[in-house]
Homo-oligomer: A and B are copies of this chain.
Amino acid sequence: MSSLPHPFTPQEPSLLELGTAPEEPCLRADAARNRARLLEAAARLIAEHGVAGVTMEAVATAAKVGKGTVFRRFGDRTGLLMALLDHSGRQLQADFLGGPPPLGPGAPPLERLRAFGIAVLYRSAEQLELQLAAQPEACRRFSHPALQALRTHVTMLLRQIVPDADCELLAQTLLASLDPALIHHLTRQLGMPMERLEAAWVDLVARVTRTDPPA
């Protein structure tokens, strides 16, 4: 894998200010320097050997730094990848918070929402390799036979209810809202009661299948 041209080619001159330690108040001089070095090295490795080439040891070596330093700074491999991702993340964030319409303020909410989704869509389509590397195994869940069965079933039901819609993709969305990881996050980490999730599901189904656009 990854012998084709990689989407992540650092053209920005000021890669050093990439992710200026958001949460950590102040970093000791050497720590900050090493952090920058590491991010630069990681970006270079990605450009040269693809995401697979970003081994913690390789990054450490390329940055002329000890392996332990990488882990102390970024926690783990995922943390490092996330830090790299943070850059474009903040870009998009700035765009819809203060940029020009229709993404930024000024346009009506509905229009902004449309533009938002499309922006995310295309941004994701670029950094796929990196995005996926930060979430190992992330795509296998979609091809799991059991899930495919669920999807087929939901698609079939949708076809009977809203024949005109893109039922495959609608089914994907519905199933995405039932993702175990999401449920875990909502109930365990955010403390939402199951009843609320249940109500939200029923409401979502109602909205999605409401079939009366009088044009």
Binding site for B on A (CB under 8 A): 22-23, 78, 82, 85-86, 89-90, 92-93, 96-97, 109-110, 112-114, 116-118, 120-122, 124-125, 127-128, 131-132, 134-146, 149-150, 153-154, 157-158, 160-161, 165-166, 169-170, 172-174, 176-189, 192, 194, 196-210, 212-214
Contacts and interface: CB of A to CB of B under 8 A. Distances in A.
30 contacts: A78-B137, A90-B146, A93-B149, A96-B153, A117-B178, A117-B201, A118-B198, A121-B178, A121-B198, A125-B183, A125-B194, A131-B181, A138-B138, A138-B180, A139-B189, A141-B181, A142-B185, A166-B196, A166-B199, A166-B203, A169-B192, A169-B196, A169-B200, A169-B204, A170-B200, A173-B173, A173-B204, A176-B179, A176-B182, A207-B208
Nearest to A175: B120
Contact of A185 (B113, B139, B166): B139
Contacts of A138: 135, 138, 180-181
B210 A210 contact: yes
B146 A89 contact: yes
Contact of A132 (B97, B127, B180): B180
Contacts of A204: 117, 169-170, 173, 208
A158 B113 contact: yes
B109 A194 contact: no
A214 to B, nearest CB: 6
A150 B120 contact: yes
A161, A192, A204 — most chain B CB neighbours (10 Å): A204
Contact of A207 (B144, B157, B180, B210): B210
A188 B140 CA distance: 13
